[in-house]
């Protein structure tokens, strides 16, 4: 089986690259980075691309035998959406975006994968919806490439670079020395570090000053208030 692990950044026209095979796929398959399929020649091929990669019609890839393979977007069932005014088309795009639907944007039209529920919704908004069969090339993420991200609450999801997202209250974070966030010390116990303000004890420093009147939870159920001059010991010869 031929393996494909790399997509070329160069275009066929710009460098007059000789294409030695084609791979025709619908959009759903072009989103997959691990896929076993066949070239137009009938040869079996395995895609092993970097995670988050999305193939577009016209993309070029390098096979394990050195051949350059061109990606072709397969014609598929889509909904072609038009409206009487630009404002109505924007309204339709807003409601589709609110449902996180992949949408292709063209001059005076929108296209999306065939879906009876969305077709009825668009008709209710006054849009004209026509089922057609054509290659589907929806918009890419606004921040470029995606990446796999484990949120801890379930399987990995793709997020766009630069897009903010929230983590659950129980999810861990990796903090730097100046983060100023709450840190978990195991067993559900936490305390706030005011990094850069409170002087933490160094090796050989007899005091561990957490600042005046700050509250720290140490041990399983007890809470202690540390003063401004009194240090405390976290273990055998180890200071915090």
Would you kindly state where each structural domain of the chain is located, as residue ranges? 8-73, 75-135, 173-230
CATH fold label, 75-135: Alpha-Beta Plaits (3.30.70)
CA distance 92 to 177: 47
Per-residue pLDDT of the chain (240 residues; tens, 9 = 90+): 999 999 998 777 777 888 999 999 999 999 999 999 999 999 999 999 999 999 999 999 999 999 999 999 999 999 999 999 999 999 999 999 999 999 999 999 999 999 999 999 999 999 999 999 999 999 987 655 444 333 333 333 333 333 334 344 444 444 444 444 444 444 444 444 444 443 444 444 444 444 444 444 344 444 443 444 444 444 444 444
Cα Dmax for the chain: 79
Distance CA 239, CA 166 (A): 33
> Token pair for residue 71?
């990606």
The CATH architecture that domain 8-73 belongs to is Sandwich (2.60)
Provide the token pair at 9: 């950044």
Q: Dig out the tokens for 186 from the structure.
A: 């195991």
Q: What angle do CA 173, 177, 180 make, to 5 degrees?
A: 65
Contact 130, 78 (CB under 8 A): no
């Amino acid at each position: 089986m031929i393996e494909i692990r790399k997509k070329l950044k160069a275009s066929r026209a710009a460098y007059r690259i000789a294409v030695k095979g084609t791979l025709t796929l619908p959009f759903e398959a072009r989103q997959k980075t691990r896929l076993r399929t066949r070239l137009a020649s009938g040869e079996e091929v395995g895609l092993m691309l970097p995670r988050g990669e999305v193939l577009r019609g016209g993309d070029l890839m390098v096979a394990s035998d050195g051949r350059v393979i061109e990606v072709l977007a397969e014609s598929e069932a889509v909904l072609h959406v038009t409206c009487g005014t630009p404002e109505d088309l924007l309204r339709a795009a807003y409601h589709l975006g609110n449902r996180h639907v992949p949408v292709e944007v063209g001059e005076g039209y929108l296209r999306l994968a065939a879906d009876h529920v969305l077709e009825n919704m668009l008709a209710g908004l006054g849009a004209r919806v026509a089922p057609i069969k054509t290659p589907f090339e929806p918009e890419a993420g606004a921040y470029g490439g995606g990446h796999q991200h484990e949120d801890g609450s379930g399987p990995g999801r793709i997020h766009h670079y630069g897009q903010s997202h929230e983590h659950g209250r129980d999810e861990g974070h990796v903090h730097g020395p100046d983060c100023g966030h709450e840190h978990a010390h195991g067993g559900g116990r936490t305390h706030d570090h005011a990094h850069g303000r409170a002087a933490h004890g160094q090796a050989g420093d007899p005091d561990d000053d957490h600042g005046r009147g700050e509250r720290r939870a140490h041990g399983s159920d007890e809470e202690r208030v540390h003063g401004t001059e009194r240090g405390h010991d976290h273990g055998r010869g180890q200071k915090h």
